[in-house]
Amino acid sequence: MNEGRPYIFDLDPAQLTALLSAWGMPAYRASQLLEWVYRHHVAEPARMTSFSHADRELLARQLVFTRAAVVRHQLATDGVQKLLLKWDAGEADHAVEGSSAALPVVEDSSRQSECVMIPSTDPRSTRRTACVSSQIGCPVGCRFCASGLGGLDGNLTSGQIVEQVWRLGGLPGVGRISHVVFMGMGEPLANFEQVVRAVRTLTAPWGCGISARHITISTVGLPAQIRRLAEVDLPITLAISLHAPNDELRRRLIPWAQFVSIQQLIDAGRHYFDRTGREVTLEYTLLRGVNDQPEHARELAGLAQQLRSHVNLIRYNEVKGLPYSRPDTADVRRFQAILRAAGVNTHIRASRGRDIAAACGQLRHEHAELAREAAQRP
């Protein structure tokens, strides 16, 4: 196990330089080590040939290079890849969906999180988006989402968030990650310090070198933290997950909504745009017969018109055991048309990875169900 050793993805150049100096290495070794990890995608000291054999052994003893074990790796027919990670678990089997490898049985889903790599639908494009988790589980408990079914097991550190991006970039055929969305498990703004620190590593020239304009943080709605995010001097995109156009319906779908009104979120979003100049995304998951009717679209249009924003419509991905279903295509198109007629810039997000349950929390939930079923067998 890690025994309290420093974790490479948690460290910035100054911290790493101080550590290596304390171990008798010159300062320039820090930049060399970061180059091996972030540029060459090497996390095994034995392969870092610019270091002496003795220094490689010292690094292996003194530093933790990875903290996640891959529990499952799924590949969808549209190129989406998904990882279920177990943190600080030691060795784990690596099973690819559809392969002959036996599925690993894990005793429970604690310390597990998910991340997804979504390639562009254009085969000529180099766009590769990492969808990462900020927490293990989720405290919000949206009624239609798999992420919060097991509650919250804890926050991820900045390094664990960065390691997700690093691992996705190392998957076969992926290469460099160009975009990052905090739309996986957890509420990013409930883990504010670690998320912002992770973004600084992801955007740093010495780190992943991803443009801040290619990073999106999605929140179910913490107005004070949205205003705080506006002050961190990072030109990232803010996405607010509304999922309902009025407070009554939103409180039925999202337990946390009892603590904050939609108008408070709209006001915070307006403040974010005023401070950063970055247009806000309003995310809206369409649930058949629940929030996808024309009257809902007209209400949502009224909200979107209050700030510089655009709306992303998301067709629901069904979760086994939850009483919600995917809307009809005709209803989705009608919903979009009403918004556009009101002058609201609206897009329907393409559903990706449906054959591997790519929506956040689904793989962790399904894996936990398999483990429970296996444990109950004689």
57 close to 352: Cβ distance less than 8 angstroms: no
CA separation for the pair 140, 361 (Å, rounded): 13
Are the beta carbons of 88 and 156 closer than 8 angstroms?
no
Catalytic site includes residue 114: yes
Contacts of 35 by beta carbon, 8 Å cutoff, 6+ apart:
none
Give me the helices (H) in 236-361, please: 247-253, 262-276, 294-304, 329-341
- Opening angle at CA 372, ends 254 and 79, nearest 5: 65
Q: How far apart are CA 164 and CA 144, in angstroms?
A: 25
The encoded tokens of residue 265 equal 């979120």
Residue at 331: amino acid letter:
D
What is the rounded CA–CA span in Å between residue 229 and residue 209?
Answer: 20
Per the residue annotation, which of 44, 114, 187, 208 is the catalytic one? Answer: 114
The helix-helix angle for 329-341 and 294-304 (nearest 10°) equals 40
Cα 315 from Cα 317, distance rounded (Å): 7
Considering only CA atoms, which of 141, 8, 128, 10 is closest in space to residue 64? Answer: 8
CB under 8 Å to 373, separation ≥6 — which residues? none
Maximum C-alpha span of the chain: 69
Rounded (5°) CA angle 314-154-196: 65
373 backbone dihedrals φ, ψ, rounded to 5°: -65, -40
Residue with tokens 């929030």: 291
Q: Which of 142, 145, 208, 360 is catalytic?
A: 360
In eight-state DSSP terms, residue 207 is T
Distance of CA 235 to the CA centre of its chain: 18
Whether 307 and 345 have beta carbons less than 8 Å apart is answered as no
360 flagged as catalytic: yes
**Two tokens, residue 236:** 């990232």
Active site residues: 114, 360
